[in-house]
């Protein structure tokens, strides 16, 4: 290369690199009493039903006359989880709600499922187990089409609890609420990758999950930790612009300038250290720009 030419700057995106045109809504789940408030079954301990006010925002973000597609794959009681959303979305004025109760990878590649998604205005992932979402849907034709629609159209993708955690990469899939002090207590895998270099955790304040997110950031300080409290969500536009909605708090954990990180030095089962994490506490109406690299969305 000629000495007169300057090398291209590292980690910079092309000036004409497009942002995704779709909208993501990641919801932190909520308490059982809020399920009762909007018609859920008394005594139900599952956290798969998102707060109605947040679902209203989901409906408001929809464009076109296509159906809302509910995907209850993460749930151990998918029919019940789907029925809750069919009822609520219908009450909120959605004219057509479809359910894709996908339980095998083969189903996610069928023309029937693809055709339903092709017509849809938006998708809602219920709560449950996020590892079921990645294991059953990751790399399938359904997810490829969903990413294509998210990138090139005003397509809305929402998820609550496990459905929110699966949106990001890296994705937490195992770890007790009080875990995280010791190296290797937290298990991480690749999520559905609608958001890159962002680790989403839900029920964040109620279940005391700050330490487990800190361990994820320690293993990869280039990622941002996004802790969503119950009855709280972020609306993500252009792949990186966050708006907080709901009644709780969103905690952003930024380790890009961290010091004293010992996660690579200590043995499994030992306590790690990390210093100089930047933590932002954001309430409803607050905005935050994720420091993501735009070229990832080409």
- Give the catalytic positions in this structure: 161, 203, 230
Residue 226 to residue 203: CA distance in whole angstroms: 11
**Could you say which DSSP state residue 295 is in?**
G
Contact (Cβ atoms closer than 8 angstroms) between residue 129 and residue 137 = no
Residue 138 to residue 190: CA distance in whole angstroms: 9
The residue count for the chain: 298
**Could you say which DSSP state residue 297 is in?**
G
Residue 200 to residue 265: CA distance in whole angstroms: 25
Residue 119 to residue 220: CA distance in whole angstroms: 38
Find residue 189's DSSP bridge partners: 171
Task: Starting at the earlier edge strand, list the strands of the sheet with 122-125.
Answer: 97-99, 68-71, 122-125, 156-160, 23-27, 232-237, 241-246, 287-289
Contact (Cβ atoms closer than 8 angstroms) between residue 108 and residue 143 = yes
Q: DSSP labels for 93-153?
A: T-S-EEE----SHHHHTSHHHHHHHHH-SEEEE-SS-HHHHHHHHTTSHHHHHHHHHHHHS
Residue 24 to residue 239: CA distance in whole angstroms: 8
* CA 172 to chain CA mean position, Å: 11
């Amino acid at each position: 290369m000629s000495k007169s030419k300057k090398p291209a700057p590292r980690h910079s995106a092309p000036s004409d690199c497009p942002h995704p045109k779709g909208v993501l809504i990641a919801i932190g789940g909520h308490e059982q009493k809020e399920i009762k408030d909007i018609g859920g079954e008394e005594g139900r301990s599952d956290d798969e039903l998102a707060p109605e006010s947040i679902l209203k925002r989901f409906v408001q973000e929809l464009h076109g006359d296509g159906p809302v597609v509910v995907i209850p794959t993460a749930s151990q009681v998918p029919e019940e989880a789907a029925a809750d959303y069919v009822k609520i979305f219908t009450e909120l004025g959605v004219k057509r709600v479809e359910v894709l109760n996908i339980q095998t990878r083969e189903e996610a590649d069928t023309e029937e499922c693809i055709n339903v998604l092709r017509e849809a205005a938006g998708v809602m992932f219920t709560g449950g187990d996020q590892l079921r979402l990645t294991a059953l849907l990751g790399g399938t034709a359904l997810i490829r089409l969903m990413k294509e629609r998210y990138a090139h159209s005003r397509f809305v993708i929402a998820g609550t609890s496990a459905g929110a955690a699966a949106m990001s990469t890296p994705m937490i899939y195992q770890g007790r609420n009080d875990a995280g002090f010791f190296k290797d207590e937290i298990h991480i895998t690749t999520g559905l990758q609608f958001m890159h270099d962002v680790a989403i955790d839900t029920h964040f304040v109620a279940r005391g999950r700050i330490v487990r997110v800190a361990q994820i950031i320690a293993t990869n300080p280039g990622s941002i930790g996004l802790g969503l409290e119950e009855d709280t969500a972020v609306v993500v536009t252009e792949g990186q612009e966050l708006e907080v909605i709901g009644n709780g708090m969103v905690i952003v954990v930024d380790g890009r300038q961290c010091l004293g990180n010992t996660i690579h030095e200590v043995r499994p089962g030992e306590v790690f250290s990390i210093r100089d994490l930047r933590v932002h506490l954001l309430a409803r109406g607050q905005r935050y720009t994720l420091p993501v690299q735009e070229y990832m969305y080409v």
